[in-house]
Amino acid sequence: MLVEIPNLLTAAEVAHCRSVLEASQWVDGRVTAGQQAAKSKANLQLPVESKEALELGDLILRALGRNPTFNSAAMPLQVLPPMFNRYDVGMKFGAHVDGAIRAIPGAGRRMRCDVSTTVFLTDPADYEGGELLVEDTFGVHEVKLAAGSAVVYPSSSLHSVREITRGSRWGAFFWTQSMIKEDERRALLYDLDLAIMAIRARLPDEDPSVLGITNVYHNLLRQWVEM
C-alpha cells in the first residue's frame, strides 16, 4: 500500500527545515546503508547524531503525531528518528529493499521496519529527476511531491531514486514498526477506516450502520495488533 500525505509539514516548517539544512555539514550517505544498498547509493546525508538532525527529526515527529492519515496508514508502534538526505546532480539510489531490522539510537534495542516514509523538502520545480520509484504487484509507482508532503509505502518493496539531472532534491526519511505487521492487513484497515469516516460524514454516530462497521474495524484490530 502506497499512501501520499499532502502538507504533512506547514510552509513555515518546510522553510525552517531548509534554513537549518542549508547551514549544515553533509556526509556521504553510504554511512547508513547496508552492504548491498551501499553499492547503489550515491547521495549526501546529515550526520544522524548531529544537533540539526535531532532538532528537525523532532519537528517531523510532532507533525506525524497530529496527522490522521499517517496514523491510519502506518498504524505506528514506534518510529525511528527521521534522517535527512540530499541528492545533487548525478546522484541517485539504485533499486534496493530497506533492511528489515534497525537499531534504535540510544535505546540498546532494535525494531522491525514495516513502513518506509519519505518527506519531500524541495519544490518539484527546483529539480529534474529525483523521482521515488516504488515497485509492487501492480507495477512501478513514480512519486515526486510538493515540499512538505510525504509518502508511506511498505519497507518490503523494491524502490529507487532516479538520478538528478538539474538542481537538488532534499528530504527526510525514516522507518516505522507498525502494530499491524502485514501490509495487506494494514491496507484493509486503512480502506475500512476511510469508509467509516465517509459513513460518519453522512450518518449520526449512533446509527446502526456506523456502529456496525466501527465494531468490525475494532474487532479486526483486536485480532491483528501486535504490541
Is the same domain home to 200 and 131?
no
pTM here is: 0.94
With residue 83 as reference, give the H or E element that holds it: strand 83-87
Q: Which of 178, 199, 216 is the last residue before a domain boundary?
A: 178
Is the same domain home to 49 and 138?
yes
Is the same domain home to 89 and 154?
yes
Quote the pLDDT of residue 34.
61
Is the same domain home to 98 and 145?
yes
Grid coordinates representing 186 are 494494514
Quote the pLDDT of residue 11.
98
Q: Domain residues for 218?
A: 183-224
The model's pLDDT over 52-77, given as tens digits with 9 standing for 90+, comes to: 999 999 999 999 999 999 999 999 99
Quote the pLDDT of residue 39.
73
φ, ψ for residue 104, nearest 5 deg:
-90, 115
Is the same domain home to 139 and 158?
yes
Dist. CA 117–CA 211, nearest whole Å:
32
Dist. CA 136–CA 14, nearest whole Å:
30
Q: Are 80 and 100 in contact (CB under 8 A)?
A: no
Is the same domain home to 30 and 84?
yes
Q: Are 112 and 103 in contact (CB under 8 A)?
A: no
Q: Specify the CATH number for the domain of residue 83.
A: 2.60.120.620
Number of domains in the chain: 2
Least Cα distance to 217 among 38, 200, 1, 33 occurs for 200
Please determine, for residue 32, whether its predicted confidence score (pLDDT) is greater than 80. no
Is the same domain home to 169 and 193?
no
The model's pLDDT over 163-184, given as tens digits with 9 standing for 90+, comes to: 999 999 999 999 999 999 999 9
Please determine, for residue 31, whether its predicted confidence score (pLDDT) is greater than 80. no
Is the same domain home to 208 and 130?
no
Please determine, for residue 96, whether its predicted confidence score (pLDDT) is greater than 70. yes
**What's the mean pLDDT in 115-126?**
98
**CA trace torsion 60, 65, 69, 74 (10° rounding):** 90
pLDDT bracket for residue 156 (50, 70, 90) = very high
Is the same domain home to 163 and 189?
no
Question: What average pLDDT is seen over the chain?
Answer: 95
Grid coordinates representing 117 are 516514509
Question: Coil, helix or strand for 134?
Answer: strand
The model's pLDDT over 186-225, given as tens digits with 9 standing for 90+, comes to: 999 999 999 999 999 999 999 999 999 999 999 999 999 9
Report which residue type is found at 41. K
**What's the mean pLDDT in 138-148?**
96
Please determine, for residue 155, whether its predicted confidence score (pLDDT) is greater than 80. yes
Q: Are 122 and 171 in contact (CB under 8 A)?
A: yes
Dist. CA 80–CA 61, nearest whole Å:
9
Is the same domain home to 163 and 198?
no
Is the same domain home to 172 and 212?
no
φ, ψ for residue 25, nearest 5 deg:
-95, 135
Please determine, for residue 1, whether its predicted confidence score (pLDDT) is greater than 70. yes
Is the same domain home to 117 and 202?
no
pLDDT bracket for residue 151 (50, 70, 90) = very high
